Amino acid sequence: MNKKLIGGAVVVGIAAGFIGVMSNASGTKTVGVSMSAFDDNFLTVLRNGMTEYAEGLDGVELQVEDADDDVGKQLNQIENFVAAGVDAIIVNAVDTSATEAITEKAAAAGIPLVYVNREPINVDTLPDNQAFVASNEVDSGTLQAQEVCRLLKEQGVTEANLLLMQGELSNQAAVMRTKDVHDVAATPDCSFMHIVEEQTGNWQRQQGADLMTNWITAGIPYNAVVANNDEMAVGAIQALKAAGVPMDQVVVAGVDATQDALVAMQNGDLDVTVFQDAAGQGKGALDAALALAKGEPVEQKVYIPFQLVTPANVQDYLTAN
């Protein structure tokens, strides 16, 4: 087993004497992986889970590329994978509304393709040799918002103002998680929750902190901060604490159950998160890609369940991601 960094790409190889980006060793399957970004905590766990799983498989090589959140760069990476003749491609899409071009390039070359974590806009029309592996985003925001609702009711709040931090607006997960919160707030049990501010923090901790600071400065009343991911939730916590806001006076919720979020929960700062099995998604995507490369049928939509995480069960998740 060896692992090399070639031209900015992490390459995991099995064959002895591995040289260059691709290997033509008999029976070896080469999988090109394009990640939307390397500097995202959750996606780092997904990527590491995939590469570590590959290291335990015989005859599997990964070429992992960083798209730097650039749609054009990601499409170019797909073209390079096609030109290099990889056996399969895995894509964590930069922009889920721009995946049709990726699908078309892989399909034209007859190379199996698996989308991971972020649902492509064309998920319902994928060719037979393409699939999607992730967790169902209908569950993520729903579990999150229902727990926020429960906590507020437990505190005796009868009218609650929610501040909602969205992920990248071009991302299906952000759109779905936001819709989930609105849907829960529209139910009879939780109709006392009112979303008074809703802005994007682009999944980023610093942008979450900046948003929270702006809302505090503007004097907007709130009972809860609901973020589409943990990074923005942690940023909100940092801003709240910097402003001297007692953390027991506000409910803060995120999604992903990242290690930083779990530490914040242990410290009494984060009230809710939802575990998304990043490593499991990476493993599932690679399993699907390898099966398709062998001509084996796979489910076109593979969902790995979300799980609610609260202070009561946080210990169970400390080593999960």
Q: What is the pLDDT of residues 95-127, one digit of tens each?
A: 999 999 999 999 999 999 999 999 999 999 999
Rounded to whole angstroms, the Cα distance separating 269 from 106 reads 45
Per-residue model confidence as pLDDT tens digits over 40-49: 888 999 999 9
Per-residue model confidence as pLDDT tens digits over 275-309: 999 999 999 999 999 999 999 999 999 999 999 99
2-135+277-304 and 137-275: identical CATH topology: yes
pLDDT band at 321 (very low <50, low <70, confident <90, very high): low
**Sequence-separated (6 or more) residues with CB below 8 Å from residue 290:** 29, 31, 57, 60, 88
Rounded to whole angstroms, the Cα distance separating 198 from 238 reads 19
Mean pLDDT of the chain: 91
* Domain boundaries defined on the chain: 2-135+277-304, 137-275
Tell the CATH superfamily of the 137-275 domain: Response regulator (3.40.50.2300)
Fold classification of 2-135+277-304 (topology level): Rossmann fold (3.40.50)
Q: H/E element holding 17?
A: none
- Return the structure tokens found at 66: 């960083």
* Bridge partners, 302 (sequence order): 133
Q: Which amino acid is at 93?
A: A
- Return the structure tokens found at 154: 């437990």
pLDDT average, residue stretch 163-183: 95
Strands (E) in the chain, as ranges, are 2-6, 9-13, 29-35, 60-66, 88-91, 113-116, 130-134, 160-166, 193-200, 224-227, 251-253, 273-275, 301-303, 307-309
| pLDDT exceeds cutoff 50 at 6 | no
- Report CA-CA distances (Å) from 192 to 148, 246, 252: 12, 23, 17
pLDDT average, residue stretch 249-272: 97
Helices 41-55 & 230-242 angle (0-180, nearest 10): 140
- Beta carbons of 36 and 43 less than 8 angstroms apart: yes
Rounded to whole angstroms, the Cα distance separating 122 from 298 reads 17
Rounded to whole angstroms, the Cα distance separating 101 from 75 reads 8
- At 4 the pLDDT is 28
- Quote the distance between the C-alpha of residue 167 and its chain's center: 10
pTM of the model: 0.77
Name the residue among 243, 247, 286, 290 with its Cα closest to residue 265.
247
